[in-house]
Structures are given as C-alpha cells and as structure tokens.
Amino acid sequence: MAKLTKDTLFKPAAPRAETVMDKTSRAARQILDDEKHKRDAKTEQLRKARIERDGGK
C-alpha cells in the first residue's frame, strides 16, 4: 500500500474554466483601468501647465 501523504491522499483541485462573462468582465476592467490611467496623466499634465501659466500661485 502506498504511503498516505497530503499529496497522495487529496487530489489537486482542477482549475476552474473561465466563463465568457469572466472574460468580458476582465476585458472591461482592463479598458476602464487604461482609460483611468490616461485621464489621470492628462489631468496631471494640465495641472502642471496651469501652475506654470499662473506663475506657481
């Protein structure tokens, strides 16, 4: 009889397949994150330009 260990006693859980909704949600989150980063970068650039224009006030 084989020696019982956690590796031989329990079968590893099979990875759960990604559903279509999971793929769509992941893609939508990625798009929204990218847009947020672009928006934040543009806001920072405009803030710096405004500070320079106003003379650092």
- Encoded tokens for 26: 């992941």
Structural domain count, the chain: 1
**49 domain residue, yes or no:** yes
Say what the pLDDT of residue 13 is: 75
Q: Give the pLDDT confidence of 1-56 residue by residue, as tens digits.
A: 568 777 777 777 777 888 999 999 999 999 999 999 999 999 999 999 999 999 86
**31 domain residue, yes or no:** yes
Say what the pLDDT of residue 47 is: 96
Find out whether 2 and 8 touch, Cβ atoms under 8 Å.
yes
Distance between CA atoms of residues 53 and 57, nearest Å: 9
Q: How confident is the model at residue 57 (pLDDT cuts 50, 70, 90)?
A: low
Which residue range(s) make up the domain with 29?
21-57
Alpha helices in 1-57 (DSSP H): 6-9, 20-53
The label of the residue with tokens 């590796």 reads 7
Say what the pLDDT of residue 12 is: 75
Say what the pLDDT of residue 14 is: 76
Say what the pLDDT of residue 3 is: 81
